[in-house]
Chain A
């Protein structure tokens, strides 16, 4: 007897042919920018412009323009850094981990998610760079370059230096992974291009790709090995970011749960950001047949899983603080929940632990509006998580005489806005001029997909 598995929903709706895929995805690359896109781009540029005033002030006057003080020496800068790095985890997770698990639903979203990753990592890199005050000396201080102090080398025992290597490796590897995937699609745009200029530009980007079987065979091996390399890489990056805190002796930071807890949080916030962007992108470029409710539901399930891991981690931290019997540790956690920053803690708990649990209800996880709202709430919640970890652990120092509060200045806000403006501007430019969906991969699943219909 023949056993057949239950028929699944096709991944791509609308009975598309391969030519339809080329048409649908290349349409907005070839057309004049739409009004919606222009409006979004204007807003992004405005945010970027306002933020750049603060970046200018910071570079001119130094980091004294921020609200940091002697007790709270790390606040929005590292909060924003960790937040952006976390967001930057979803792209590689979607394209690498889901490739290794042969999850074909990744194909509609991996391109945009990887682009988001790259821009988010650039935003993250801004903060340690700007925190150095003198951006132009960053390479000299952070990399093991020969220098005139001896040579006095960088400290390879320090997690901050591990971060330099982890984030730069992650950034460049994500960039080539993304670019290798783009090459066949650039070739499609090149061969459709009407004007000489776009033919030359996309031709250069496609680097002479014609889609020969030998090249495809190499392309597949490269994708597989890059995915295999990127999977431990993506886990190592946030592990190392968490070690910036976990290897210190500050109560509230010095916990062994940090690496898995940070990695889960990163995937959680990254998927939330992917959802926010994909819901807007599919609407703006009419990609409802490619990014279906099924895709959104699957991403929401990832959010439930990672959100629950994060929730358990919060509770475990509390339990271990009590169980450790260390008064400093216990105080740090009680102060977190009931001290002067209780509102930030409550905000984090509601947004990260309670709101994703709503996705257990099928109606909510298959609704575009509620998904969009919850994805934004999760992003805010994850920002507060980092703020809570950083500021509440620092502001009550070991000496009560140096206890302090942190109040952000207008330039703290401005530099954060600058990173958001940069992110939105870059994403909008990408979505207009690059193919937002991996056409070659989607074409490869049309046939097997269509047969099930």
Chain B
């Protein structure tokens, strides 16, 4: 996401008001940088026009990688590299290999997906996020609009936010 310098920040008290405000702001052709909230708001993706996350698809591919890797490794180790007779049974048979294969599938699917989530959302211990209004982790809903990315004037957007229910509208400048 391109980072601008001058933002207008609308502060809201209620999730439903934010959703209505997003709709009216976007309908008038203003681009929203991002909306910040203390909790997940259901349906906000549709209002902001975000596509569904593809993380589940990524997780599926990590998972089948795990399945393939586990089965290949077990067959190779017990069937080819060092075959052993255990209880007079075949060197390789599928059923006893399923538990480890299943666990390894889950292991890769879960950790692969979480790591991907950290990378795409840029979550890391030394991250320095842009703070538009720190109250968004407590009880306020924050809508940030990049003035540089919009044609409309500051005053127009300011009025639009107040009219659609923002309790405060502040300006935030980053160096």
Contact = CB atoms under 8 A, between A and B. Distances in A.
Contacts of B113: 222, 225-226
A216 B125 contact: no
B38 to A, nearest CB: 5
Interface string B116-160: 011011111111111110111111000000000000000000000
A150 B113 CA distance: 36
A166 B107 CA distance: 9
Interface of A: 17-19, 22, 144, 150-153, 155-157, 159, 161-162, 165-166, 168-169, 172-173, 176-177, 180, 183-184, 187-188, 190-192, 204-205, 207-222, 224-226, 229-230, 232-233, 236, 240, 243, 439-441, 443-444, 447
Nearest to B118: A207
Interface of B: 14-15, 34-41, 44-45, 48, 50, 52-53, 55-56, 59, 73-74, 77-78, 81-82, 84, 86-87, 89, 96-97, 99-100, 102-104, 106-107, 109-111, 113-114, 117-118, 120-132, 134-139
Contact of B106 (A152, A169, A208): A169
Nearest to A441: B39
B126 A222 contact: no
A211 B77 contact: no
B117 A184 contact: no
Contacts of B86: 155, 157
A211 B38 contact: yes
17 contacts: A144-B77, A157-B96, A159-B99, A166-B99, A191-B134, A191-B137, A207-B125, A208-B123, A208-B129, A215-B121, A217-B50, A217-B53, A219-B117, A222-B113, A225-B109, A229-B109, A440-B38
Given A157-B86, A165-B104, 13 more contacts: A18-B138, A19-B138, A156-B100, A162-B99, A166-B103, A176-B110, A184-B39, A207-B118, A211-B37, A229-B110, A236-B102, A441-B39, A443-B39
Nearest to B44: A213
A169 B134 CA distance: 36
Nearest to A438: B39
Contacts of B120: 218
A165 B89 contact: no
Given A153-B81, A166-B103, A169-B107, A221 B56 contact: yes
A213 B35 CA distance: 5
A156 B124 CA distance: 37
Contact of B82 (A153, A177, A216): A153
Contacts of A226: 110, 113-114
Contacts of A187: 137
A229 B106 contact: yes
Contact of A180 (B37, B73, B81, B117): B117
Nearest to A444: B39
B153 to A, nearest CB: 25
Nearest to A442: B39
B138 A22 contact: yes
With most chain B CB atoms within 10 A of its CB, the pick from A22, A173, A216, A219 is A216
A12 to B, nearest CB: 13
Contacts of A19: 138-139
Contacts of B38: 18, 184, 188, 211, 439-440, 443
Contacts of A184: 38-39, 137
B129 A153 contact: no
B110 A209 contact: no
Contacts of B44: 213, 216-217
A444 B43 CA distance: 13
B117 A218 contact: yes
Contacts of A230: 110
Given A180-B114, A226-B114, A156 B103 contact: no
Contact of B139 (A17, A162, A173, A208): A17
A209 B135 CA distance: 13
Nearest to A162: B99
A169 B104 contact: yes
Nearest to A237: B103
Contacts of A18: 38, 138-139
Nearest to A179: B114
A173 B15 contact: no
B46 to A, nearest CB: 10
Contact of A212 (B35, B81, B87, B97): B35
Contacts of A243: 99
Contacts of A211: 36-39, 136-137
Contact of A213 (B34, B117, B124): B34
Contact of A209 (B14, B15, B97, B123): B123
A219 B14 CA distance: 21
Given A151-B82, A217-B50, A165 B97 contact: no
B166 to A, nearest CB: 16
A255 to B, nearest CB: 19
Given A169-B106, A225-B55, A188 B138 contact: yes
A153 B78 contact: yes
Nearest to B90: A157
B18 to A, nearest CB: 10
A59 to B, nearest CB: 29
Given A161-B100, A166-B99, A210-B137, A173 B78 contact: no
B82 A152 contact: yes
Contacts of B84: 152, 155
A222 B109 CA distance: 11
Contacts of B129: 208-210
Contact of B40 (A172, A180, A219): A219
Contact of B37 (A213, A220, A222): A213
Contacts of A22: 138-139
